[in-house]
Amino acid sequence: MAGKQHRVILDDDVFALTPKAQHELRGSATSLAPAALEVLVLIDGVSTVAETAARARTIEKDTVVNILGNLLYDGLIAFSKDQAASLDFVDFFEAKSPIKPSVAATAKAKKESAATTQLLQQQGYVVRIARRAGAGKTTGPAHTPCVLVVEDESHLATLLKHVLANEGFDVRLAKNRGEIIAELRRSPRPDLVLLDVTLPDADGFEVLQRIRQHPVLQGMSVVMLTAKATRDAVLKGLAGGADGYITKPFEIEVLVKAVNVVLGLVEGGRMVEAEKDPWLAMGKPPK
Amino acid sequence: MNDELSQIVAKLRADYAEQLPATFTKMENLWRGLAAEELPVSGVVELTRMAHSITGAGTTFGLPAVSRAARDLELFLDPFSASGRLPSGAERETVSVLLVALRQSAALP
């Protein structure tokens, strides 16, 4: 990213003091205005902008945000370490290198997706598979699992939100690039992304690739939920690192099962034991 | 599925079916503009996307015939969408027929 430029400050942003600011605060004299100084001393590398603004009792939130923008511009504060990793979101959809699954990944997907191929042959354009969660890839019991539903059809998005909320998930929605980035940046990050392919201003396969290349997000579970049901599309998703592929139209029970399987959960919060075959085909073939 | 969720799903199905005629009208207007070459060719991508969206949602909301008709339209438009070319001649006639079939499919079981 370019050096000095004003950036939009978001409520969830977290800032830390730079050495320059620490020097400024330690010095006996400062050129900073009192309000800027008041905000600067509140920066702790942990609190979000919203929390910092709430603690700055004598300054309005809008002013705090403006001051933070100026402090950032002047190099007195910087995004915290976690936040710095998130800065890649600025270029999330604008990577210069071509985004294509490697030959090896495609070959692996072809080999691993025997179940998919079989389903395609048996059922036509219907695919419902999910990769069982492996060791260390579970949400654990500590928090409510969060699912980000990326879907531009509003009725489907609402349906998915209610269905998953009913199953005990924390559900968030996004329908375009801007909302995808905002939700991926938001804390806590989603445990799983339910990803449509055809969006008004984005391609779900591209989003999948960006997630797999992102230093913070690469381990995030992704299940493709799409009407793109050709063999090539399925292979593209699996080669791109999708943990599941469900074609629309879908059955609610199948979708819920896929989310639970990928997250290593079953109803009641018990963990699903990993089996030899990582892929699970779900549901009955349609008549 | 519990009662509350069942009610929500039933309402979403009804809402979806209710808004479909307006969506069909949008698609038809878009196609008219494209066929008359009054709109940029990129409109084919949008028309394909709209068909794709119905393909995915129709059956989920209890309208399998609508999904099937939308898929027929989507599959026909896909090559034009990918190549950035407008259907011509008989191809245009086919798009019009598929759009009529799509609207009629909403009345089918």
- ipTM for the predicted complex comes to 0.89
Structure confidence at residue A99 (pLDDT): 47
- pLDDT of B34: 96
Which residues of B touch chain A, with CB atoms under 8 Å apart? 1-2, 4-5, 8-9, 12, 15-16, 19, 49, 52-53, 55-61, 64, 67, 71
A166-196 tens-digit pLDDT: 999 999 999 998 899 889 888 888 999 999 9
Q: Which of A238, A218, A162, A224 is nearest to A193 (CA)?
A: A224
- Domains of chain B, by residue range, sit at 3-105
- Give the angle A134-A136-A139 at the CA atoms, nearest 5°: 95
* Prediction pTM value: 0.69
Specify the pLDDT at position A253.
87
Of A155, A166, A196, the CB nearest to B61: A155
Confidence of residue A30 (pLDDT cuts 50, 70, 90): confident
Query: What pLDDT is stored for residue A156 in this prediction?
Result: 94
- As a whole number, mean pLDDT of residues B83-90 equals 92
Residue A157's pLDDT is 96
Percent of chain A with pLDDT over 90: 22
Ranges of each domain in chain A: 15-91, 103-281
Which architecture, in CATH terms, is A103-281? 3-Layer(aba) Sandwich (3.40)
Owner of token pair 């190099």: A75
Question: Per CATH, is B3-105 categorized as 3.30.460?
Answer: no
Q: What is the mean pLDDT of residues A40-64?
A: 88
Q: Give B-chain residues touching A152 at CB under 8 angstroms.
A: 53
A126 touches chain B (CB under 8 A): no
Confidence bin at A25 (pLDDT 50/70/90): confident
Nearest to A128 by CA among A246, A256, A284, A251: A246
Q: CA A107 to CA A104: how far, in whole Å?
A: 5
Torsion of CA A232, A233, A235, A241, to 10 degrees: 150
Query: For residue range A241-279, what is the model confidence (pLDDT) as tens digits?
Result: 899 888 888 888 889 988 988 888 865 444 445 455 566
What's the whole-number mean pLDDT along residues A202-226? 89
Average pLDDT, chain A: 77
Closest C-alpha to A99, from A204, A180, A174, A199? A204
